């Protein structure tokens, strides 16, 4: 009985062993003809072919490394690991165990986990990997199925929508973005009830929600209510993304997830309607921002109302989900490395005057190295999900159309190129880093559209905060001791007991020392 699945056979590397055998046996008289019957040119050609086959065979691998099929038990166990521990945690487990190219199964579908730089680069740069994979019913539950940009697997629809995001995320002038980020950060600092027990995650999330609103929507919002709904939506997103179809057969489960997502969808729809009314009542529209352009597109029949709502929703949730948590991790890393903190503060004091200017950003080299090293060493999102739209070959392996791909960039950043891959060190960015070895935002046709503005936002927020305050976490609170989950992204555990432990003290910078709580 053949114990190897058809999919395993499909993933067999490209080789010439069988064709070599055909070459040897192609003539029925080959064994009867003596050496004298073969011309010198033919002998030379055969010898050359044999040498090439021998050299090629040295690189041939029988199957992609990974858990065995084992009568279907392998696919079941690997899928359960993804469901139980989270996508990020499971990907790191298999990469550590089997290497930089691994075959697993997600919901019965063959999935490659890639953390080799050349393989990751190959996928990112090619247009036939512009689709992502995920549960159709799960994505429909949260409004992402063939809508928006993040997990829209309708490639033609995605290509139609992406330009709106491109214009919005590159459209605002750098100085405007810097001014909005700085003023929003300062406003939220001024609004703190006290500096002894600051809920840093809430502070950062509130700041980035306000920045996103001011840049892309610009209507009055209740930040606290909106942040609660964003968190519910994100939790639902993580829960349903790779669940099997049978999971949604339980009506009460599907209804609960749908209701959690609907809360944010309704809130965003109300905000869009506010924006629409403001536009209708305005004598002149001086600022055509992201939401306004989408509303114009809807009025001209280019986008549906549901797509407009989903696009605005995704623009609003992107920063609280990723950028704010990235900044939280950076503040912890800064306190774990006081020498880096000293370099950073000296640079800020030297470069930045009373008001941060766009020209200052390029001069803040230590800050840029610090941000890059933080994103490399402990990224919030350490993988990306893709699906092959055509048959392909990656590193010698056949990849059939429809194969799921997980690009484990977090693991890649700790295994290739960098001088001290397993340490947090600014030395890792002392030399120019080729793009293929450092992919915090991805690259190619489906790279993160907000990567440039994200850097401006992180720099502006950090400069505004650190120029005034020294941030002091609780004693013993370090990244390696911080309870975290890693499903769709790495997130601190924010239970009631952990919540107080995550708070920090803000000390005015004129104080020369910082004692931990």
pLDDT tens for residues 399-448? 999 999 999 999 999 998 999 999 999 999 998 889 899 999 999 999 99
pTM across the whole model: 0.86
CA 358 – CA 208 distance, rounded (Å): 19
| Mean model confidence pLDDT for the chain | 88
> Within a 13 Å sphere around the CA of 491, how many CA atoms are in the beta-carbon half?
18
> What value does the mean pLDDT take over residues 71-80?
96
Rounded Cα gap, residues 306 and 308, in angstroms: 5
The C-alpha atoms of residue 89 and residue 292 are separated, in whole angstroms, by 39
Calpha distance 14→25 (Å, rounded): 21
Averaged pLDDT, 70-77: 95
208, 316, 349, 452 from 182: Cα distances, Å: 11, 18, 16, 17
Q: Give yes or no for residue 4 having a pLDDT over 60.
A: no
Residues in the chain: 517
- pLDDT band (50, 70, 90) for residue 320: confident
**342 alpha-carbon distance from chain centroid:** 30
Residue of 39 and 247 predicted with greater confidence = 247
Average pLDDT over every residue of 242-247: 95
pLDDT tops 70 at residue 6: no
Return the residue matching tokens 């029988």.
Answer: 62
For 143-152, give one letter per residue: b (16+ CB within 10 A) or e. bbbbbbbbbb
pLDDT of 477 above 80:
yes
What average pLDDT does this structure show over 190-195? 90
Residue 432's CB is within 10 A of a number of other CB atoms, namely: 6
Q: What is the pLDDT of residues 248-305, one digit of tens each?
A: 999 899 999 999 999 999 999 999 999 999 999 988 888 899 999 999 999 999 999 9
Nearest by Cα to 67 from 75, 59, 58? 75
Pick from 374, 324, 381: which is nearest to 201 by CA? 324
Residue 142 CA, distance from chain mean position: 19
> Are the C-beta atoms of residues 428 and 437 closer than 8 Å to each other?
no
Is the model's pLDDT at 16 over the cut of 50?
Answer: no
What's the average model confidence in pLDDT over 480-484? 92
Give pLDDT, residue 38: 65
Structure tokens at 125: 């740069």
Closest CA to 247 of 239, 142, 108: 239
pLDDT > 80? residue 22: no
For residue 516, pLDDT over 80 is answered with no
Q: Which of 402, 385, 404, 393 is nearest to 442 (CA)?
A: 385
Q: What is the pLDDT of residue 423?
A: 96
């Amino acid at each position: 009985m053949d114990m190897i699945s058809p999919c395993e056979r499909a993933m067999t590397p490209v080789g010439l062993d069988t064709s070599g055998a055909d070459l040897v046996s192609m003539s029925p008289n080959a064994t009867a003809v003596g050496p004298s019957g073969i011309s010198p040119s033919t002998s030379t050609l055969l010898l050359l072919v044999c040498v090439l086959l021998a050299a090629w065979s040295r690189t041939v691998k029988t199957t992609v490394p990974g858990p065995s099929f084992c009568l279907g038990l392998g696919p079941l166990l690997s899928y359960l690991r993804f469901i139980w521990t989270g996508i990020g945690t499971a990907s790191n487990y298999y990469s550590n165990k089997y290497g930089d190219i691994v075959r697993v199964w997600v919901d019965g579908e063959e999935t490659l986990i890639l953390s080799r730089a050349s393989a990751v680069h190959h996928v990112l740069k090619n247009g036939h990997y512009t689709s992502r994979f995920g549960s159709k019913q799960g994505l429909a539950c949260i409004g992402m199925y063939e809508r928006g940009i993040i997990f829209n697997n309708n490639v033609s629809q995605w290509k139609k929508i992406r330009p709106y995001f491109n214009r919005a995320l590159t459209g605002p002038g750098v100085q405007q973005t810097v001014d909005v980020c700085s003023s929003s950060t300062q406003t939220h600092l001024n609004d703190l009830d006290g500096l002894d027990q600051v809920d840093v995650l809430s502070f950062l999330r509130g700041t980035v929600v306000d920045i996103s609103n001011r840049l892309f929507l610009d209507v009055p919002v209740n930040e606290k209510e909106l942040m609660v709904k964003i968190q519910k939506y994100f939790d639902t997103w993580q829960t349903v993304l790779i669940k099997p179809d049978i999971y949604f057969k339980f009506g009460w489960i599907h209804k609960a997830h749908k209701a959690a997502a609907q809360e944010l969808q309704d809130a965003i729809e109300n905000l869009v309607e506010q924006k629409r009314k403001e536009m209708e009542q305005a004598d002149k529209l001086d600022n055509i921002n992201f939401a306004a352009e989408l509303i114009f597109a809807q009025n001209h029949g280019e986008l549906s109302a549901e797509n407009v709502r989903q696009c605005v929703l995704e623009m609003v949730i992107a920063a609280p989900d990723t950028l704010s948590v990235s900044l939280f991790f950076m503040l912890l890393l800064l306190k774990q490395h006081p020498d880096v903190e000293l370099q950073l503060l000296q640079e800020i004091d030297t470069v930045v005057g009373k008001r941060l200017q766009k020209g200052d950003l390029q001069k803040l080299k230590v800050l840029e190295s610090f941000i890059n090293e933080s994103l490399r060493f402990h990224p919030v999102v350490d993988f990306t999900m893709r699906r092959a739209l055509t048959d392909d070959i990656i590193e010698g392996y056949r990849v059939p159309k429809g194969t799921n791909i997980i690009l484990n960039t977090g693991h890649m950043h700790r295994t290739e190129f960098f001088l001290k891959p397993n340490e947090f060190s600014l030395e890792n960015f002392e030399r120019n880093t080729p793009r293929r070895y450092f992919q915090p935002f991805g690259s190619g046709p489906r790279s993160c559209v907000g990567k440039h503005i994200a850097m401006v936002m992180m720099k502006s927020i950090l400069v505004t905060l650190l120029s005034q305050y020294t941030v002091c976490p609780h004693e013993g609170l370090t990244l390696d001791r911080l309870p975290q989950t890693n499903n769709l992204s790495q997130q601190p555990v924010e239970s009631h007991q952990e919540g107080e432990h995550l708070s920090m003290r803000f000390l005015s910078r004129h104080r020369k020392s910082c004692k931990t709580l």
